[in-house]
Amino acid sequence: MQRFEKKVALITGAASGIGRATAERLAREGASLFLCDVQQEGLQATVKQCRELGAEAEGHICDVGQAADIQATIDACTERFGGLDVLVNVAGILTLERTEKTTLETWERILRINLTGTFLLCQAALPSLLERKGNIVNISSTSAISGLPYGAAYGASKGGVLALTRALAVEYAKRGLRANAICPGSVKTPMTGRSGLPDDPDVSLLQRVLPLDKPRGPETVASVIAMVASADGAHVNGESIRVDGGTLA
């Protein structure tokens, strides 16, 4: 399938996990890729892999938590590829800790990267996306739908991503732009490998968010992102799609 032939996609969080898998999936489907992350080494590995798959791919260091980086990133993408068709906001961080121990600094950092970063990228990309009647895919989380114990800040940031996505979908639908959210859960990535729980967690609280079936890899999210972002998703707008093996069904 070459659903992204002549299409330009910008993906944040492309150095690892779901972002990398999405880059590889879109590369296989013919996209030109502008790949962003804060991790230089991982980013270069993704760029190399996408080029080996036959795609034009450019790596760009962008900290989505720094407002000053955002417009420069969109400008660099449109300068390199002449425009933008698909924006996939994947970059994110997870901290799990008891709510009474969550500092204002942690709360603000998570909100800034996961929610404000997503908002700023959407905002800066809008002129280019509207010009090409493109679309946005934002990565939310099952924690936006069902309470994640020890994840108040993370869940709040991802709930914000859902609300932001729906607002964009309604506000810009008549101008030909779509915006959708994906809610992964139980996806095996470096993030899930390192998300430490607080000391002495109440495991009974965690039962409800354990995978119903089994964890799967980030390619299972990338394939859904690709469908939604392609012409196959032409009538999908303002939707949030759980990709969690049925855990929250």
**Which residues does the annotation mark as catalytic?**
154
Task: Using the minimum distance from each CB to ligand NAD, give the nearer residue, 127 or 190.
Answer: 190
Least Cβ distance, residue 176 to ligand NAD (angstroms): 26
Task: Using the minimum distance from each CB to ligand NAD, give the nearer residue, 29 or 244.
Answer: 244
List beta partners, residue 180: 137
Specify the 3-state DSSP secondary structure of 217. coil
Least Cβ distance, residue 5 to ligand NAD (angstroms): 26
Task: Using the minimum distance from each CB to ligand NAD, give the nearer residue, 29 or 69.
Answer: 69
Task: Using the minimum distance from each CB to ligand NAD, give the nearer residue, 90 or 122.
Answer: 90
Lookup: tokens for 31: 């996209």
Specify the 3-state DSSP secondary structure of 223. helix
CA pair distance 241, 227, nearest whole angstrom:
11
Let me know: does 180 contact 169? Beta carbons within 8 Å. yes
DSSP-derived letter for residue 187 is B
Cα-based distances in Å from 48 to 41, 52, 67, 86, 218: 11, 6, 28, 21, 19
Q: Which residues are at the interface with ligand NAD (CB under 6 A)?
A: 12-13, 15-19, 37-39, 42, 62-65, 90-94, 113, 139, 141, 184-187, 189-192, 218
Least Cβ distance, residue 34 to ligand NAD (angstroms): 13
